[in-house]
Chains A and B, each alone.
Chain A
Amino acid sequence: MTLETEVQSLRQVPMFRDVDPARLKLLAFTSERVQFAGGQRFFSQGDPSDAAYVILDGRANVLLNTPGGEIQVAELGGNALVGEMGILSDTPRSATIMAAEPTTALRIDKRVFLELLAQFPQMSLAIMRELAKRLERTNAQLVAQSSS
């Protein structure tokens, strides 16, 4: 797998869909490709947010700490972006991510990511658009829940 295939993966991520291909290449190049063994944690809930990950290959579980122990709330597959909220809002990890099987991910360093955003407004706009869409969706879900 090379930079080109990683760029292809990044293009599948909604948040990066509208970003210029050359910028995606830069994002891929400045990121690290890392492998996690099955059961290895990307990060744990409460850790400082230092990076976001795009899953290139494999699956990972989202776990939440509860008084009764960790429970799985979701499963992430290929091209999923995880941990981006933490680095944007500068808050600790809100959940634990654990590889469900041998998994390859692209690790996007927080500092590099923010620098790219600061440098390329077009990239920031793309991210904002995606965040706005998410907010819209959440609002719609809230409306649906309250009306039901």
Chain B
Amino acid sequence: MEKSLFRYIWTHSKRDQMIICAVVLASLPFYFMSLDLPRQIVNQAIQGEAFRDGNPTAPFLNLSFDWPGWLGGSTWEIFEGFQVSRVGLLMGLSFVFLFFVIVNGAFKYWINVSKGVLGERMLRRMRFDLFSMVLRFTPDALRTVKSSETATIIKDEVEPIGGFIGDAFITPVFLGTQATTALVFIMVQNVWLGLIALAVIAVQFTVIPRLRRELLRLGKQRQLAGRIAEVLDGIEVVHVHNAYGWEKAEIGHRLFNLFTIRLKIYNRKFFVKTLNNFLAQLTPFFFYAIGGYFALRGTLDIGQLVAVIAAYRELPPPLKELIDWDQQRLDVQVKYDQVTQHFAEDRLGPMLEAREAAEADQPLIGSFVGEDIRVAGPHGDLIIEGGAFTVELPASVALISNGGAAASMLARILARRSLEFSGRIRIGERDLTQLPMVVTGHRIAYAGVDPILFPGSIRDNLVYGLRSKPLGRLKEDGQEMDRRIAEALRTGNPIESISDQWVDYERLGAKDEDELDRILLDLLDKVGMGDTIYLFGLAGRIDPERHTSLAERLVEARHRLRDTFQSNGMGDLVEPFDPERYNSQATIAENLLFGVPISDEFKGRNLADNAQFRSAIDRAEMTDDLVQMGLQIAETMTEIFEGLPPGHSLFEQFSFIGADELTEFEAILRRRGRGEGSLRREDRTRLLSLPLAYIEARHRLGLLDDAMTGRIVEARGIVREVLEKAESGGVEFYDPEGICAAAPLRDNLLFGRVSYQVANARARVAEAVAAVVRELDLQEEVERVGLEYQVGTAGRLLSPQERASVNLVRCLVKRPDILVIDGALAPFDEARSQQLMQLLLELFDQQSLFMVLPNDRQAGDFDVQMRFRDGQIITDKTAAPAPRPSSPKPDAPQRIAGEVA
């Protein structure tokens, strides 16, 4: 990136800057005209100077030009104007004034918009440039670069730079011309006064910015945010070591420093302000004293003196703005310097090559030769010293660790994760380090210890390695596309569309997305994650648009499941949702709504406060009964949870009432106990929220009798009617013959609630569901829904094993020529990792597999074994590799049905 901000701005926006400057200059005459017109209106029309000689009319819009004396001094009449009366002249001049006001407004509008657009474009370019540099950070730099700092720079720090870019050249040009005009005017009146004004301005322009520069330097000494982020990231350690005192003192110390700095800033800031004001007032002092002296001496007439002072009045605003601009310039320059330092050249790797020609994209097979490889460890010691190897690819190679870092280092080098070595590694005739990114990205895969997942669905993460370039299959709206591409070209951004199809299905041997899903599911199943995906699918929600075939067959599956339950004597395991009957395994809220809340205002406690819902249960005359139930629940809960310390896990798990609310409910009960008659409105709402979560079969407080359940079922219709009338769309109602998209897939299948009362019901229901899903051949569809499971930030919603599996499948689906595994199986127990290793060996029968092994116990299955001893690499060919098992998993485990809640 350019070292100088102005050069950066000029390189990328000179055309726009010059156009805007030209428009600014073109607008100046109009501006001066609008300043001059009021004088004309007053003097000529109102005071009647134009009619001084008794003329009844005067020329209006007279355009004439007086040639200077040395050119003959004649007047060149361009347009002699209209002869108009006094009122006519007044009106005419006023309308001309109005015209100039509008023209000036239009100029200003155009200039501001153009400046803003220019700034935004530059901001986009700069952010994109910076992001491109983020991708280029060297491994060394990445050790010191903080991600939060980098993100803040790209997001926040460059924002004011963008705002400044529009003003970078235009403001000094515009204000400079204005100030110069005024100064020249003073000079013309009297050279000495002009020189005085110039001298004071010169002082202002040198001293003030210098003082302000110090302010900026002080302002830079902050770094509070970074430390807070560090503490937050390491909060675990703070807790473990009880380091609160130290951390508090540390932050306290920083805050004190911050205070000291800010104190200095204030002192200096107001000193600068005072000095500035003083200097601004100093000039009039000279004007009065010296100008007056000249006037007394008779070398300057009074009119000139008054004009000079008037002109000087015009000077401060542009000057002040110029100084502000200068300050902003410094400010932004400091920010820009920070940015360029953060993205200094020595922290960046070489430019990422754009797209290379496809000719280099040959399979990575042939002799794989390493010569004289030297790798230094972090402390300068040589881990590999003059190592050499020769392997014919494709082959499976075990990199057997000697307990040190050598095997892992070599694995990283082979996967091109590290370029910090000397020596040569060739594949066939090609140098490994010279292979273009597009080839390595497609033909080499690496799975390390730390599976890095992006927030998004499992599918998004799995196909991440397949998105190397868009295929241009997108049908875009022509005009919108042109605009998008034009903007991208103007700002140095990529012109590819994110909505294009980025995954090349054909290369993977798949016809379309569905087949790719099948490949993904097959691989996930092979690495042993099939059951998990199935369970994710059952917990997932289906989009009837996307999963049309599943949606169509789901109701069929629902009926089949019901038949299975009936015929196997499992009828009491699930209590189905029936529009005409109360479901004792579901909450009262669920029974009243007979549907699934979509918007938050219908969920949980919010429901008790929801106006529509309240009006519905009021109409059904249920409110008083429910509040009464709420009182009973509150009484029981306060009684049985009394004495448990707040925050006890039993509260979380069982109580209707949070530990912190217990006292509030006790207060409500006390108020009522004292016979304070009717409850307050907010008390009623609170009490109402309790029975809404009540499940008769689970909580067994005996609050519901048949009459009551009957009334709730009746109220159901009223609730639905009210909510449908209000068109809130906050609840999706159950339909025995339709899909409820808001409910998880398993609820759609069961269409009921598993009984709390039957022992072992959940497991038995899960088995039955799995059987029906298999029978109707819906398993793949369910798993496809499971692919949409969100993995969360850094995959935190997955277990370590699941993360590792996803990472592995992401590498496998790419079908690389070379797969390097370095600790990716660590989260699995020994039996699983053994299975997975066999699976990998089988899958990579035709390709190459490099795997770092902790010892040589399992190395016998590989074609080649590499050992590391005294910095040397020793390559052994396995005499006769153990015949690979035909099936990777000797006993394909029976699909477990899992929990269905």
Contact = CB atoms under 8 A, between A and B. Distances in A.
B650 A25 contact: no
B67 interface: no
Interface stretch (A32-40, A68-76, A84-92, A126-134): A32-40
Given A22-B642, A119-B644, A30 B654 contact: yes
Interface in B767-806: none
B758 A26 contact: no
A42 B636 CA distance: 30
A120 B756 CA distance: 28
A105 B653 CA distance: 21
A24 B326 CA distance: 78
A79 to B, nearest CB: 17
B700 A1 contact: yes
A65 B622 CA distance: 56
Interface string A15-47: 000000011011001101111100010100000
A4 interface: yes
A33 B643 contact: no
B641 A36 contact: no
A140 interface: no
B757 A115 contact: no
Interface in B617-655: 636, 639-645, 648-650, 653-654
Given A2-B702, A115-B650, A34 B759 contact: yes
Interface string B693-728: 000001111100000000000000000000000000
B759 A29 contact: no
B757 A33 contact: yes
A29 B757 contact: no
B641 A3 contact: no
A107 B762 CA distance: 15
Interface in B208-253: none
A3 B636 CA distance: 10
Nearest to B644: A119
B198 to A, nearest CB: 85
A142 interface: no
A29 B701 CA distance: 9
Given A22-B639, A119-B644, A119-B648, A29 B756 contact: no
Interface string B741-763: 00000000000000011111000
Interface string B395-417: 00000000000000000000000
A36 B764 CA distance: 13
Contact of A40 (B640, B642, B699, B759): B759
B654 A29 contact: yes
Contacts of B645: 119
B649 A33 contact: no
Nearest to B698: A32
B645 to A, nearest CB: 8
A61 B702 CA distance: 30
A109 to B, nearest CB: 9
A135 interface: no
Contacts, number: 61
Given A26-B640, A34-B757, A35-B758, A3 B701 contact: yes
A23 B644 CA distance: 10
- Counting contact residues on chain B (CB < 8 A from A), the size range is 20 to 34
A120 B645 CA distance: 11
A6 B700 contact: yes
Contacts of A29: 636, 640, 654, 699-700
Nearest to A20: B643
A37 to B, nearest CB: 8
B756 A32 contact: yes
Contact of B649 (A4, A23, A107, A115): A115
Interface residues of A, number: 26
Contacts of A35: 757-759
A32 B699 CA distance: 9
Nearest to B569: A37
A125 interface: no
Contacts of A26: 640-641, 644, 650
A104 B702 CA distance: 17
Interface in B648-689: 648-650, 653-654
Nearest to B642: A22
A119 to B, nearest CB: 6
B802 to A, nearest CB: 24
Contacts of B757: 33-35, 104
B6 to A, nearest CB: 68
A2 B700 CA distance: 5
A105 B757 CA distance: 9
Contacts of B760: 40
B643 A120 contact: yes
A104 B643 CA distance: 30
B759 A36 contact: yes
Contacts of A1: 700
Contacts of B642: 22
B759 A42 contact: yes
Contacts of A116: 650
- Listed residue (B640, B644, B648, B650) with the most chain A CB atoms within 10 angstroms of its CB: B640
A65 to B, nearest CB: 21
B758 A34 contact: yes
A67 to B, nearest CB: 28
B139 to A, nearest CB: 46
Nearest to B761: A34
A33 B696 CA distance: 12
B638 to A, nearest CB: 10
A131 to B, nearest CB: 24
Contacts of B702: 2-4
B639 A2 contact: no
Contact of B650 (A2, A6, A30): A30
Contacts of B648: 115, 119
Nearest to A120: B643
A115 B700 CA distance: 22
Contacts of B701: 2-3
Contacts of B653: 30, 112
A34 B700 CA distance: 12
A27 B702 CA distance: 17
Contacts of A33: 700, 756-757
Contacts of A119: 643-645, 648
Interface string A89-121: 000000000000000110100001001100110
A25 B759 contact: no
Nearest to A115: B650
Contacts of B756: 32-34
Interface in B495-525: none
A115 B648 CA distance: 9
Nearest to B702: A2
A110 to B, nearest CB: 14
A35 B570 CA distance: 13
Contacts of A23: 640
A22 B639 CA distance: 7
Contacts of B640: 22-23, 25-26, 29
Nearest to B699: A29
Nearest to B759: A34
A36 B758 CA distance: 6
B569 to A, nearest CB: 8
Contacts of B758: 34-35
A91 to B, nearest CB: 22
Interface of B: 636, 639-645, 648-650, 653-654, 698-702, 756-760
25 contacts: A1-B700, A3-B700, A4-B702, A22-B640, A22-B642, A25-B640, A26-B650, A29-B640, A29-B654, A29-B700, A30-B653, A30-B654, A32-B756, A33-B700, A33-B757, A34-B757, A35-B759, A36-B759, A104-B757, A107-B759, A115-B648, A115-B649, A115-B650, A119-B644, A119-B648
Q: Which are the 9 A-B pairs with shortest beta-carbon distances?
A: A2-B702, A34-B759, A26-B640, A25-B640, A36-B759, A3-B700, A30-B654, A35-B757, A35-B758
Given A29-B699, A112-B650, 12 more contacts: A4-B702, A22-B642, A25-B639, A26-B640, A26-B641, A30-B650, A32-B698, A35-B759, A36-B759, A104-B757, A115-B650, A120-B643
